[in-house]
Structure 1
Amino acid sequence: MEKFTNPATLESADVLRPLADFPVNIWEDPLASFAISETESHTYDERLKALKEEVKESFVASKANMIENIKLIDALSRLGISYHFEQDIQEQLEKVFLSDHLNEMTRTGKFDLSTAGVLFQVFRQFGYKVSTQVFDKFKNEDGKFDERLGEDARGMLSLYEASQWSTRGEDILDEALSFSTTRLETLSRQCAPHLAVRIENALKHSFHKGITRLETRRYITYYEEEPSHDKVLLEFAKVDFNSVQLLHRQEIGHVYRWYKELQLDVKLPYARDRVIESYLWALGAYFEPQYSRGRIIVAITIILLTLLDDTYDAYGTPGELDQFTDALERWDRTAAEGLPDSMKYLHHVILDFYDKIEEEMDKETRLGCGFHAKKSFILTAKGYHKEAKWLREDYVATFKEYKENGIFLCAYYAAITSSFVGTGDVAKLDAFEWLSSYPKVFVASLIISRFMDDISTYEFEHKRKHVGTAIDCYMKEYGVAKGKAIEEIQNIIMDSWKELNQELMRPHLFPFPLLMRILNLTRVIDVFYKYQDLFTNPELLRDDVVSLFIEEIPI
């Protein structure tokens, strides 16, 4: 375990700095922990090819029965292998969605609640806004869900998962969420152990709001315990998971070497050392092999954003932060002269990284895109600087002021922009310009991200003098207690999820993969900050890191 170095002993020890007592890094030697042998990377190739062909044949055959086809797509998605058949799935769902058969089945379909929930989830997951009428048949004469449904564990789980896709005005899904949640809490104590675990996991993090790769790892374990599981599908999922895991380990090594070669843990000892956790964040943006470069870029961006955050929040003095912000805005290496060595070094590292990204994007004929990547990082610094000024002046912003600063000048803008960088030609200049216009889907994501972070980090941040959070601003402006402020902010988060869900529905102005980056990074926030600040407290993520990057799945 890495020893914590007290930054108060570094540089000008007589300067009073707002240092934070962050938990230490728990991964002593990632290059050893996540290493792979040369032979491992070729172990799965031939088996994957054969299994993929078998699964594709099953997919084609399933088209004869719409319900079975939709269930297979659901299984492929949950097992983490739908990306192999992305185009086929897209074409099939669009064909079915536009058919009269689907509309007829939605109104009069003779299927159970579990099937109805799966059908609803799959279409919405891929951006097709199937009607909530699919659930009307499960209501009684009073317009409420039939109480007898509460005895069906699989049906309740499916209804619960479907309700996560609600948009504004869909009251039936609000009712479905309430109805299913209370009953699942009881059913989890009565059903088969593997189903009980799945229910408990879903209540903690629904599939829709979970990190895809974590959901896949858990679902493979569940699916194997299902008596009716498809052996070929299960083996394909296991082999693919292990194969892609090898690539992920290589990427971790790349990011870690970059970090250690720059000696960022030594040069900035006051900041959180979170290489592995930053990579997990990037994995949440996209896990598929074709996004390897993107994951590395996002991981490094998250590391730099963490160092930036801690510099503003837990190190820099007011005067230093004024100069540091100005130096970033000017994008001038000489403008950092006179700053403490750690801040000057960080400034140089940031400029080097983003200049290299811009150079690479220019070579890809994505001219102008690098400018937007830089702009997103500068705006983040300006947002942190504004909060530092508020702290200096003992100013508690109005809730509107805080919300606007948190939306338009926050780290999640830089994180999402970096995820666009890694999508290649899918994200040209017009995509970056669209993102910088703050479309509804992006604003909804930023609201969720900023407010969930504020709620989970509230207690830790208030152990020392800290700028007012959304909770503090709400309490002061509306004269309410902390509990009430959190409740109201959670309502805003829930409403923002509905807005986000709506904006994911077709037709889209820009390619669906770009919208998925926004959704996926919002999912990371939901997992990292829903209950506690997992990113700052890496011990809480240890089991997930081990299951994703260290342990293979037995085949």
Structure 2
Amino acid sequence: MQSTVMATFALKPGQCNGSCHLAIVLSQPIGKRPYRSWMCRRRQQYDVLRCRVTHQHPAGGLHDDPDEIDDRPRKNPPRFHPSIWGDFFLHYSNTVACSPHQQVRMAERADKLKEEVADMIERRSSGYSLLQRLHLIHVLQRLCLDHLFEDEINGSFTQIKSADLSGCDLQTVALWFYLLRNHGCRVSQDVFIKFKDEEGNFESNSSEDLLSLYNAAYLGTHGETILDDAVSFSKKCLETTMPHLDPEGLLAREITSALEIPLPRRVKIYELKHYISMYETEATVHETILELAKLNSNLMQLHHQRELKIITRWWKNIQLQSNLSFARDRIVECYFWMAGAYFEPCYSRARIILTQVMAIISIVDDIYDVYGTSEECELFTRCIESWDTKVGQDLPANLKIILECIFDTYKDIEHELETEQKYRLSYLKFVTIDWVRAYTTEVKWRDQRYVPATVEEHLQLSVRSGACHLLSCASFVGMGDIATRESFEWVSSMPEIVHSLCIILRLLDDPKSYEREQMALHVASTIDSCMKEHNMSMELALKKIKELTEESWKSLNEEWLKPNKAQPKELLERIFNLTRSMEFFYKQEDAYTNSCNIKDTVKSLFVDSYKVF
């Protein structure tokens, strides 16, 4: 008998505050039918082939003839460390919510707390200071609770936008500016003029003021010089202040995080547990909100664990079929990455589909970058272009199987869509073909040792080979009716916001992978093109690349803040969140390849639970 736990949170069908009733189905996979439907059929089909391939080619081999001398230039390919997680989520049982009864208790308690917090938002719309109202919304956002109160928060923003700021201090004005711009409202930078003196400095009374200004200013666009000045001034002051603060104190931890990645660019679900630990030590902590945050975290985690079991089983079968011992085994990290695009339970189908596409991107990336010969890559591209495995009869056995796994995965994704949504796969295939064509050109660049003369020339190709336009399109595929045919026409045409995402990924990734890629023949980096274009050293080129990254963020902010947006905010937010996730994965290093460095964050989000009763 199917056991279901439902926490409705007073949601209405069709919204995320709406389609996101937290349903945890304990015995059936999410979706219309099991996502592993084709896997079991194909596993038997390939058992014999897999044994033969494994015998012929020890781990890492791709060629039918192990003695064949090919043209692959990567004689010593990078050794990717094995998976940290393996099959962990196939067998993991959450001890905090190990019984349906316990889950029902959590869900019912969360429903009650949700009503109390909704009343709190309503009460604070009058009789409270502007800073108190702003702080409440800010806390709900950082605790990943805001999607439960969309109507109430949207109503508050209507009032807050027209608030009188004349007597407000810098912290209040900066938080007002940040929240509204983060919400998609383009309020004027001129609200900060009154805080600037004749020397261009900003008058502040505390480090909290400067931190608020610093975070707000990173939502700036091209030509907003007041915000540029605010970033420079507040950053310098915060860096000067840090040595005088308790490094374990809340303020020091917040400043450290902001200096690493400013708040508008951070993925809130990644730091949920960290912020909960900070919030419960604040003097202004509200126990009802804190309890709801912990319960909601547990309930979302159960949902995510359920999806991880599905996606791990899917990945394990692909590994068994294709002898994927040569690729980065990062399926849990793929899911973690894509949860940055949308963590809410209502996006379950979309999140699983996006994770599958991300995993395919990772496989194909390793084939083109590291393991495939030029001829194999070109033939692989022709197979994708024709969407026909028969074209690839001359491919090695492993690549044939990978190709069939890709096609079968796309078929399975299509099957999960409603009849009126199946057209979406034609757009996903179109962008996939465009992506692998860009890869093929990069392989030719690599073989010819070609270095594009300018960064702009490099980006004309590498914005497509980075696959972010494919992820953008894929992020819409599993969403509800808000994603229309017009939305897919738009996203597949590389609009400006997607273009900015693609540039940011490329300019963040290249500096982190540059040293590793120099160890073997690799396609030229934007760093190489920058050095060639400006006849400068690598150090100066890295500085220039960083400046270009900041300009691209401003372009993305520009699109986010347009009053007449090209598409609904719910769709644009997927692209904005994908960009934030790129900042997380590539700010310090390539955290996807070096996934040991995010182990604790993954564990915090998907394994560690709160004892709430």
The answer for the alignment partner of 2:60 in structure 1 is 7
The one of 426, 436, 439 aligned to 1:371: 426
The answer for the alignment partner of 2:44 in structure 1 is none
**Alpha-carbon distance, 1:71 to partner:** 2.2
CA distance in 2, matches of 1:432, 1:89: 29
Are the aligned partners of 1:153 and 1:191 in contact in 2 as well (CA < 8 Å)?
no
Q: Which moved more, 1:311-320 or 1:215-224?
A: 215-224
**Alpha-carbon distance, 1:187 to partner:** 2.9
The answer for the alignment partner of 1:433 in structure 2 is 489
Are the aligned partners of 2:389 and 2:404 in contact in 1 as well (CA < 8 Å)?
yes
Against the structure 1 CA distance between its residues 186 and 33, is the aligned structure 2 distance closer, same or farther, given a 3 Å change threshold? farther
The one of 500, 512, 517 aligned to 1:456: 512
The answer for the alignment partner of 2:158 in structure 1 is 94
The answer for the alignment partner of 1:48 in structure 2 is 110
1:109-120 equivalences in 2 (<5 Å) = 110-120=167-177
Are the aligned partners of 1:160 and 1:181 in contact in 2 as well (CA < 8 Å)?
yes
The answer for the alignment partner of 2:389 in structure 1 is 333
CA distance in 1, matches of 2:239, 2:465: 39
1:432-483 alpha-carbon deviations (Å, 9 max, x no partner)? 1011222211111111011111111111111111110111122123221111
Q: Which moved more, 1:10-19 or 1:286-295?
A: 10-19
Are the aligned partners of 2:106 and 2:295 in contact in 1 as well (CA < 8 Å)?
yes
Q: Which moved more, 1:259-268 or 1:225-234?
A: 259-268
Query: Aligned AA for 1:324?
Result: F
Q: Does 1:72 align with 2:136?
A: yes
CA distance in 2, matches of 1:190, 1:141: 28
The answer for the alignment partner of 2:435 in structure 1 is 380
The one of 229, 234, 244 aligned to 1:180: 234
Q: Under a length normalisation based on structure 2, what TM-score does the superposition of the two structures give?
A: 0.85
The answer for the alignment partner of 2:80 in structure 1 is 22
1:60-114 alpha-carbon deviations (Å, 9 max, x no partner)? 01111444322211111111100001122223313543x4xx3xx24x2x22222
The one of 141, 149, 173 aligned to 2:198: 141
CA distance in 2, matches of 1:395, 1:333: 31
CA distance in 1, matches of 2:111, 2:411: 40
**Alpha-carbon distance, 1:334 to partner:** 0.9
Query: Aligned AA for 2:278?
Result: Y
**Alpha-carbon distance, 1:496 to partner:** 0.7
Q: Does 1:130 align with 2:192?
A: no
Against the structure 1 CA distance between its residues 359 and 266, is the aligned structure 2 distance closer, same or farther, given a 3 Å change threshold? closer
SS of residue matched to 1:403: helix
**Alpha-carbon distance, 1:374 to partner:** 1.1
SS of residue matched to 1:346: helix
Please identify runs of 4+ aligned residues in structure 1 that moved more than 4 A: 8-11
**Alpha-carbon distance, 1:159 to partner:** 1.0
1:342-491 equivalences in 2 (<5 Å) = 342-361=398-417, 363-399=418-454, 400-491=456-547
The answer for the alignment partner of 1:296 in structure 2 is 352
**Alpha-carbon distance, 1:144 to partner:** 2.3
CA distance in 1, matches of 2:380, 2:580: 32
Are the aligned partners of 2:368 and 2:439 in contact in 1 as well (CA < 8 Å)?
yes
Question: Aligned-residue CA RMSD in angstroms?
Answer: 1.9
Are the aligned partners of 1:210 and 1:527 in contact in 2 as well (CA < 8 Å)?
yes
Q: Which moved more, 1:399-408 or 1:33-42?
A: 33-42
Are the aligned partners of 2:84 and 2:596 in contact in 1 as well (CA < 8 Å)?
yes
Q: Under a length normalisation based on structure 1, what TM-score does the superposition of the two structures give?
A: 0.93
Gapped runs of 5+ residues in structure 1?
Answer: none
Against the structure 1 CA distance between its residues 327 and 251, is the aligned structure 2 distance closer, same or farther, given a 3 Å change threshold? same
The answer for the alignment partner of 1:527 in structure 2 is 584
Query: Aligned AA for 1:246?
Result: L
CA distance in 1, matches of 2:317, 2:103: 25
CA distance in 2, matches of 1:324, 1:396: 24
CA distance in 1, matches of 2:589, 2:109: 41
Query: Aligned AA for 2:106?
Result: Y
Q: Does 1:518 align with 2:580?
A: no
Query: Aligned AA for 2:144?
Result: G
1:204-283 equivalences in 2 (<5 Å) = 204-263=260-319, 267-283=323-339
1:312-334 alpha-carbon deviations (Å, 9 max, x no partner)? 11111111111110000000121
Q: Does 1:61 align with 2:127?
A: no
Query: Aligned AA for 2:110?
Result: L
Query: Aligned AA for 1:374?
Result: K
CA distance in 1, matches of 2:224, 2:91: 47
Q: Which moved more, 1:196-205 or 1:65-74?
A: 65-74
Q: Does 1:154 align with 2:211?
A: no
CA distance in 2, matches of 1:9, 1:440: 39
CA distance in 2, matches of 1:35, 1:300: 23
CA distance in 2, matches of 1:203, 1:382: 38
CA distance in 1, matches of 2:93, 2:419: 31
Against the structure 1 CA distance between its residues 364 and 199, is the aligned structure 2 distance closer, same or farther, given a 3 Å change threshold? farther
The answer for the alignment partner of 2:93 in structure 1 is 35
The one of 548, 552, 555 aligned to 2:609: 552
Q: Percent identity?
A: 35
Q: Which moved more, 1:44-53 or 1:29-38?
A: 29-38
**Alpha-carbon distance, 1:20 to partner:** 2.6
CA distance in 1, matches of 2:322, 2:376: 20
Larger helix share, 1 or 2:
1
